[in-house]
Amino acid sequence: MKKILGCIRKADQDFSLIEEGDKIAVGVSGGKDSMALLYALHLYQKFAPVKFELVGITLKLGFPGMDFNPVVEFCKKHGIEYHLVDTEVYEILKLNASSDGKIPCSLCSKFKKAILIKKGTELGCNKISMAHHADDAVETLVMNTMYNGFLSTFKPKMYLDRTDVTFIRPLVYCYEDDIIAAANRHVPIVPSTCPMDKHTSREDVKQLLKKLYAQYPMAKQNLLNSLSNGDRVSLFNDFNDKE
């Protein structure tokens, strides 16, 4: 967990993620990433340069067989405010499934985001913290390039003016392997029963990148570094023809 905290501190310093008096809602799916984030931010409260409040929010999407009692007990043990929110997301997703039975991940993401913002604002939160990490950022870059034809990834900090809420991603410098190691030691994990888990385009890109890293180990850090080198981007529509 020490390595995770170091990465969160650096992200906070680089992107001013957490400010004095913030009340931050953490979207807690029960998976390794969100549980590690919740616990790490709880620990970060003890030595962060500013004072902030923390709230864990789990959306019960309706996937069968998911037991969040271990998360409830974990939060009680550590004195973390925590809320379980009932939703009908899965029922709606099934109504919008494709002809081969696949549920739309993009629609699920939109529902989760909207409900999380609504609950967070009801609880007086001005920021929503998501558990997207360094590997997610690179995968998003590659997916947008391959499937959409443009270079883009998510931002560590994004203000949503329609809802007056700011999204933050404190794990953007943390690699998934380090999160797994920390989560296995420190937090309970609720396995996802989503039928699309491990069967998405993102999973395909994840496996593609693993093969790339195995052959070119330096690519892992360099791809992450590239996301901060915006001043060195050179594309066709850059009309500066000087070298």
pLDDT digit string, tens, across residues 193-208: 888 787 788 999 999 9
- For the segment 214-228, what is each residue's pLDDT rounded down to a tens digit? 999 999 999 999 999
Mean pLDDT for 62-88 is: 94
Q: At what angle do helices 176-186 and 32-44 cross, to 10 degrees?
A: 80
Query: Which tens digits make up the pLDDT trace of 144-190?
Result: 999 999 999 999 999 999 999 999 999 999 999 999 999 999 999 99
pLDDT at 243 over 80: no
**pLDDT digits over 3-60, tens only?**
999 999 999 999 999 999 999 999 999 999 999 999 999 999 999 999 999 999 999 9
- Measured between alpha carbons, how far is residue 211 from residues 3, 27, 144, 152, 219 in Å? 25, 31, 19, 22, 11
147 Cβ partners below 8 Å, 6+ apart?
201
Q: Look-up: residue for tokens 């996937």?
A: 63
Mean pLDDT within 81-91: 92
pLDDT at res. 42: 98
pLDDT grade, residue 95 (50/70/90)?
A: confident
Pair of tokens at residue 133? 């990490």
Question: In this predicted structure, what is the pLDDT of residue 240?
Answer: 59
241 pLDDT higher than 60: no
Q: What is the 3-state secondary structure (H, E, C) of the chain?
A: CHHHHHHHHHHHHHHCCCCCCCEEEEECCCCHHHHHHHHHHHHHCCCCCCCCEEEEEEEECCCCCCCCHHHHHHHHHHCCEEEEEECCHHHHHHHCCCCCCCCCHHHHHHHHHHHHHHHHHHCCCCEEECCCCHHHHHHHHHHHHHHHCCCCCCCCEEEECCCCEEEECCCCCCCHHHHHHHHHHHCCCCCCCCCCCCCCHHHHHHHHHHHHHHHCCHHHHHHHHHCCCHHHCCCCCCCCCCC
- pLDDT at residue number 62: 86
